[in-house]
Amino acid sequence: MAILYFFGIEIEVFFNIKMGMPICMIMIFFFGVGSASIANLILRKSNLEFSLLGASNGVFAILGVSLILFANQPIKFFPIPFSNTAIIFGLILLMLFNHQTKKDNIDYFGHLTSFISGLLIALIIR
């Protein structure tokens, strides 16, 4: 939820003020969830026990859009300012590290797919 607060507000303000398009954050969020679901359905169609529906995939799509649109804008975590790029790549590296060290039921591929779909959305809009 903190990610949605810090990054989602910037996206909503950008689309509402600069482009006159409200509720874009919600559309990006659901596009990220949908793209991850479709990618997992295609790649894991042989595993009938696999199911996927997660809000975290939408959050990673928002991170992808933020990386392109607000790469150099600082965000303050506690009193320390960090750039969007440092925070986002830190989260991606943490996710990849967890994927290599833990074998759990977290959809790391879906997170990555959603992140890439967010990057593509931002590149198309920008």
Number of domains in the chain: 1
Task: Tell me the pTM.
Answer: 0.79
Q: What is the pLDDT of residues 86-102, one digit of tens each?
A: 777 787 788 777 766 66
User: Is-contact 112 36, C-beta < 8 A?
Assistant: no
Q: Which of 5-14, 46-55, 66-75 shows the lowest mean pLDDT across its residues? A: 46-55
What's the rounded Cα separation, in Å, for the pair 2 and 9? 11
61-71 pLDDT, tens digit each: 998 888 888 87
CB 89 within 8 A of CB 38: no
Question: Is pLDDT of 109 > 70?
Answer: yes
Find the domain containing 60 and state its range.
2-45+52-125
